[in-house]
Amino acid sequence: MDVFSDLIRGVRAHGSLFGSSTLRPPWALHFVDGAPLTLCTVLNGSGWIVPEHHPPEPLRARETVVVRGPATFTFVDEIGTSAVPVECGEFCATPEHGGTRHRIGWHDPVEGLGSASAARADCGATTLVVGAYPVRGEISRRLLEALPVVLRVTPGGPADAVLDHLAAEATVDTPGQQVVLDRLLDWMLVCTLRQWFDRPGGESPPWWAAQRDPVVGDALRLLHAEPAAPWTVGALAERTGVSRSTLAKRFSDLVGEPPLTYLTRWRMTLAADLLVEQASATVAEVARAVGYADPFGFSAAFKRVQGANPSEFRRTASARARASDGPVPTRTATAAGSTA
């Protein structure tokens, strides 16, 4: 298991909602969920993403922006639009609003929303796909810490193929569509983050580049594949085929900390999620699961890294998880005739 795969494995679009909104300029869609991570991509047309406390970001055809919460954001036809924001949240596409497709905003006052004139209004529309991700747990939080408030990628990368699939799926309403959209958005998120981390001149997290080093990359994969193993620097060096001193220096240079310091932090990250996800497990059982035979030594290491002992952390994190439970939507918004 590589570092990136481990960090992103809990970030999934699941059980989310899907809807569409058809509007004419001026228009503004305010996404109020405040999700920890939101992916926005325009299939056609253009507009502006306006996050709270952050400069606006233009979003053109086949471009993608990822917004890190908890701040909300707005998608508008142009900066300074006179439109009153329409709130889009978890219930923007409920069955009572027409099933998986819910249109809000403009409709033909004479012929109605389903008329030929309404259909013509869709031609040349701006189609925004929004995938909002619940990011729960310490593992996924480490990924969030590596991201800025807003990141963007331009066309021409591996995500282009996913966009083609999204565009095709967004035009139909067939059984199983939600599952397909969720998985496509997961694929899209992975491709987007890869492209952003690999951008020329970018400042990716140290572990990203270190994964590609023939020595340190192997060491990281071993630590992530076998976190509970009784690792020493010598044992890790033997498995990677270099001397102990070579591994220690190379790992510290590329990752920014010694191998066993990295391992301790990773073990405590795993333990933090186990404490919440496995409510019936004792602290001693969680300690053994991450490589500690002595629960007292584990508790001391956990408090040093997480700032609270395991029992206190479990109570606080479990209460927080219960308070934030609920589906987070995947939405498609279509804005007719965007002028941005």
Instruction: Map out the domains of the chain as residue ranges.
Output: 3-136+147-204+327-335, 209-322
Grade residue 23 by pLDDT with cuts at 50, 70 and 90. Answer: low
pTM for the whole structure:
0.83
- Determine contact, residues 47/340, Cβ cutoff 8 Å: yes
**Choices 3.40.30.10, 1.10.10.60, 1.10.10.350, 3.40.50.620: CATH for 209-322:** 1.10.10.60
At 256 the three-state DSSP class reads: coil
Query: Which residues, including other chains, have CB under 8 Å from residue 204's CB and lie 6 or more apart?
Result: 146, 196, 197, 198
Considering only residues 106 and 153, tell me which one the structure prediction assigns the higher pLDDT: 153
What average pLDDT score do residues 2-23 get?
68
> Residue 167 is which amino acid?
A
Of 70-79, 252-261, 316-325, the range with the highest mean pLDDT is 252-261
Nearest CA to 332 among 115, 106, 93, 134? Answer: 93
Q: Which residue has the tokens 């102990």?
A: 244
d(CA 298, CA 311): 12
* Structural element, H or E, at residue 30: strand 28-31
pLDDT in tens, 234-285: 999 999 999 999 999 999 999 999 999 999 999 999 999 999 999 999 999 9
- Please state which CATH number belongs to domain 3-136+147-204+327-335: 2.60.120
Nearest CA to 204 among 137, 251, 154, 145? Answer: 145
pLDDT in tens, 99-131: 333 333 333 333 333 333 334 445 557 777 888
Helix ranges restricted to H, 35-90: none
